[in-house]
A and B are shown apart, each in its own frame.
Chain A
């Protein structure tokens, strides 16, 4: 079945880096745009970044632009989020999600999330 599985979360000190991965299965990975969305503890959802199907275009939230980099490896059906210069306010559950055909371009498939905690 269609599935997204995140990994790579954990506890990291402020100013350090972390790389999240999202493994996809059950669909043609290279046909879809992929997103990262995060949710701080007890808070709402925040859209973080998107990478289009072939990796040619990427867009970011203002809060992470210049610190986070989204990328993908279509040969390995994997999405990445490189997070540098982490701050306490980056603490959140990070979800990967798929948009595209069949859901009006919105986020129809989500992973289960991976928790990132930025703390000294």
Chain B
């Protein structure tokens, strides 16, 4: 199975900060990489698919980049509602695999 290594596992940031989270795949996954946001007690929400595409309704402060094995989620200016846990997912090959998650906390 493809391993997804996500970092950092947690970070503390302030409102307005620029935040970057990375995921590295153990092999190339083309552009089959998605990012999810999860708040406590809630189901995950799709933030970005196909590396850099935003579903309707997702704010433009979220962006994704990368290719092959290395991918990045960037929040350009952190807002209070962005404090949550973020996961990457490779949907290139079964079994699909998630990164371990990054908890974004208030500094």
Chain A interfacial positions (CB closer than 8 Å to B) = 35, 37, 44-47, 50, 59-62, 95, 99, 102-108, 110-113
Contacts and interface: CB of A to CB of B under 8 A. Distances in A.
B6 to A, nearest CB: 9
A95 B89 CA distance: 15
For the complex of A and B, the 6 pairs showing the least CB-CB separation, nearest first, are A104-B50, A104-B49, A59-B94, A106-B34, A110-B43, A47-B96
Q: Looking at A37, A47, A59, A106, which has the most chain B CB atoms within 10 Å of its CB?
A: A106
B97 interface: yes
Interface residues of B, number: 24
Contact of B49 (A35, A59, A103): A103
B36 to A, nearest CB: 7
15 contacts: A45-B36, A45-B87, A45-B101, A47-B97, A61-B95, A95-B43, A103-B34, A104-B34, A104-B91, A105-B32, A106-B50, A107-B44, A107-B91, A108-B46, A110-B43
A50 B97 CA distance: 12
Nearest to B101: A44
Contact of B89 (A47, A61, A102, A113): A47
Given A45-B101, A62-B95, A107-B34, 11 more contacts: A44-B99, A44-B100, A45-B44, A50-B96, A95-B44, A104-B32, A104-B50, A105-B91, A106-B49, A107-B44, A107-B46
A107 B89 contact: yes
A30 B72 CA distance: 34
Contacts of B20: none
A107 B48 CA distance: 10
B98 A47 contact: yes
Given A44-B101, A106-B49, A99 B91 contact: yes
Given A44-B100, A105-B32, A107-B89, A113 B94 contact: no
Contacts of B44: 37, 45, 95, 107, 110
Contacts of A50: 94, 96
Given A47-B89, A95-B43, A108 B98 contact: no
A36 to B, nearest CB: 11
